[in-house]
Structure 1
Amino acid sequence: MLQQAIDATDVIGRWEYDVPNDRVYTDTLVALVFNVDPALAETGASLDVFLAGIHPEDRARTAQEIRRSAETGMCCTIEYRVRSADGVVRWVLDRGRTVLDEAGRPQRGSGVVIDMTRTRCRRDANPPDGHDPDRNPLENAAEHCLAAHNALQAVPEPLLQRMSDMLLLEVGRSLARLVDERRRRGVNEAVQPGH
């Protein structure tokens, strides 16, 4: 059932982070993807509970990026693996931002988690210079934007990093619209007479 819910949309769900109280709040699907009890996620779990659901090879890097975002208030876009409640390892793209108070202390974070497993499998099956004709050009652009974004994180140019954050956000919004369009089309085709 978890796989069916994830297959229905690439956007898994949203998260909210109360930084001073170390409480992360998510919906049921995000909780299950991180192998967290949904009731606990609804009432708020510590960040460490969610970090425990991240693949051990990706955990330290992800925690470091989250800390950097919380300290600076900059957007954070991270791709990493999780082991879900059903035992499946999935690739997710986590995109969020932390709001700082007037004194520069982190207050609240919010963001979205997107399932990248199919994209990642396709990327591994097709060489980087290969072209997959079945994909929407926007999906190809998203992969290139993500690669550029990841490369720019190592460059000490805040303007370039912010610009790549903005580009990735806009491409993500366009992808979300594309997914919604596909979902609506699928629902409409399913309810058409003769289907």
Structure 2
Amino acid sequence: MTLIELGHHQGWNDELEQSQEILGPSRVLGSWLWAIDMGTLTASRAIADAFCIDPQRARLGAPIVDYFPAVHPDDRARFDADVTRSVETGSEFFCEYRVVDRNGATRWLWDRGQCIEMRDGQPLRYLGVVVDVTRSNTALDSIAGHLMAARAITQRTGESMLRYFIDMALHELASRMAAKQKRAARLQHDRS
């Protein structure tokens, strides 16, 4: 069975479509295959680029520890805990975290994987997908920043009606962000 057939067989296409609805403007970077027993992660070119790994090495299976330094220091402990929990329990892996690319830019990634092979109750292989959600997160932050700046101006100028509409927009934005976080938390809970 090929990885594509395996992914389709496990319903990944349906789940990816649902995830795309939740994530909004995002870009699928590709898939990865983690051979735990070999300590290697085989990944697409775009994933390799995000993690500052030579694409040829990633295609052949680079040591998984080579990927970890790209994970943002503030997210590393949570990332490590999620990986450890998934391997110890053989459960699904799900994590949203930041990486710092070769140019020093920070990117937000949504990473999801599932154990596809076990031996004697121990996971041997995980298959996963990485989605770059930077644009989605950046867009919401940018909108909120602009609205807060506009609100401050309306407070200084006494434009109460305009401030009222800005407050409504901020409330709507906060509701959307909370709903997005709630859906992400539900996805994470469902995998437990």
2:183 to 134, 145, 149: 145
Distance 1:76 1:48 in 2: 17
Distance 1:140 1:29 in 2: 29
CA-based RMSD of the aligned residues comes to: 2.7
1:110: which partner in 2? 127
The structure richer in helix per residue is: 2
1:94 to 111, 118, 129: 111
2:191 to 160, 165, 174: 165
Distance 1:131 1:55 in 2: 26
Distance 1:42 1:83 in 2: 20
1:122 to 139, 147, 152: 139
* Range with bigger deviation, 94-103 or 18-27: 94-103
Q: Is 2:117–2:124's contact at 8 Å kept on the other side of the alignment?
A: yes
Displacement, 1:9? Answer: 6.0
Structure 1 ranges of 4+ moved more than 4 A:
126-129, 139-143
Q: Is 2:29–2:131's contact at 8 Å kept on the other side of the alignment?
A: yes
Displacement, 1:58? Answer: 0.9
Q: Is 1:91–1:115's contact at 8 Å kept on the other side of the alignment?
A: yes
1:79 aligns with 2:121: no
CA deviation profile, 1:128-148 (whole Å, cap 9, x unmatched) = 84249xxxx9x9965431144
1:57 aligns with 2:58: no
Equivalent residues, number: 142
Q: Which has the larger radius of gyration?
A: 2
TM-score (norm 2): 0.64
Closer/same/farther in 2, CA of residues 18 and 102 from structure 1, 3 Å limit: closer
Displacement, 1:32? Answer: 0.3
Displacement, 1:71? Answer: 1.7
Displacement, 1:102? Answer: 4.3
TM-score (norm 1): 0.63
| 2:99 match: secondary structure | strand
Distance 1:55 1:142 in 2: 22
Q: Is 2:26–2:133's contact at 8 Å kept on the other side of the alignment?
A: no
